[in-house]
Amino acid sequence: MLSRSEIKKVRALDLKKFRKEYNLFLAEGGEQVEEISAVFPCRMLVATKDWLLQHPDVRAMKTVEVTGEDLSRISLLKTPKDVLAVFEQPCYDVETIDFSEQLVLAADGIQDPGNLGTIVRLADWFGIEHIVCSTDTADIFNPKTVQATMGAVARVKVHYVSLPEYLSELSNVPVYGAFLEGENIYTQELSSSGIIVLGNEGQGIRSEVAKYITKRLYIPAYPQGKITSESLNVAIAGAVICSEFRRRIFA
């Protein structure tokens, strides 16, 4: 059984200030917990008896067996799962990124946790190991973000930097960004390495970041000339762009 103070601490991880203070984050659901526990130290595992019996290999510093009713009182989800876990936040060194051999995503002020989580998930799918985020981008350890990654947070390293300053210090690194006035992505030469910048949901890529972009890309609507939606969701646009970059490898 969890104590009141432990329940309070788990639920406090919904807030960034407490995640930062404790250096912890929360994950819920069997697939998420299994994948993340294979990479990050698990401080506490809270699960039903059946789940624990079915997953004996998931280890934690502390394991607590609870009922489904107990979990519903602890969970931050509208529909609680059979398990939740508290993990230590990793510490990454952004200076270790080698842009000469890989693609890296950059998030410029992406606000929605679900969008950021989906971008982490698509990065994982397309073999992109690093995402560099502006300091005002949503927190990767927000429970909603973690949930949206579907476990990919265990494999994709997310860094927070002053993005304009970071880009200004790079040399001989191609930097791509999506713009409505850009060049058709399907007709442009694309490199197998470099940075792909994804902009804010409403404002797009900010001017202080845009000045470091060396190639402006555009995802054309189909058919040309037809009235369509004004723009694509940033995560969907990111998936289209990443897919086209990777397609060139097999073309």
E-only strand ranges, 128-174: 130-134, 157-161
Tally Cβ neighbours within 10 Å of residue 92.
Answer: 13
Same domain, 98 and 84: no
Per-residue pLDDT of the chain (251 residues; tens, 9 = 90+): 788 899 999 999 999 999 999 999 999 999 999 999 999 999 999 999 999 999 999 999 999 999 998 898 899 998 889 999 999 999 999 998 988 889 999 999 999 999 999 999 999 999 999 999 999 999 999 999 999 999 999 999 999 999 999 999 998 999 999 998 899 999 999 999 999 999 999 899 999 999 999 999 999 988 777 777 877 899 999 999 999 999 988 76
Same domain, 82 and 156: no
Write down the pLDDT at residue 250. Answer: 78
Write down the pLDDT at residue 1. Answer: 73
Q: Are 155 and 126 in contact (CB under 8 A)?
A: no
Same domain, 83 and 99: no
- 155, 159, 152, 40: which is closest to 95 by C-alpha? 159
Same domain, 19 and 129: no
Identify the CATH number of the domain in which residue 117 sits. 3.40.1280.10
Write down the pLDDT at residue 251. Answer: 66
Write down the pLDDT at residue 171. Answer: 87
State which residues form the domain around 30. Answer: 4-88
Same domain, 224 and 120: yes
For residue 88, what is the enclosing H or E element? Answer: strand 83-88
Same domain, 20 and 128: no
Same domain, 108 and 208: yes
Write down the pLDDT at residue 180. Answer: 86
pTM above 0.75, yes or no: yes
Same domain, 151 and 187: yes
Same domain, 120 and 219: yes
- 26, 217, 198: which is closest to 111 by C-alpha? 198
The residues with which 162 forms a beta bridge, in sequence order, are none
Q: Mention every residue, 6+ apart, whose C-beta is less than 8 A from residue 168.
A: 212
Write down the pLDDT at residue 3. Answer: 86
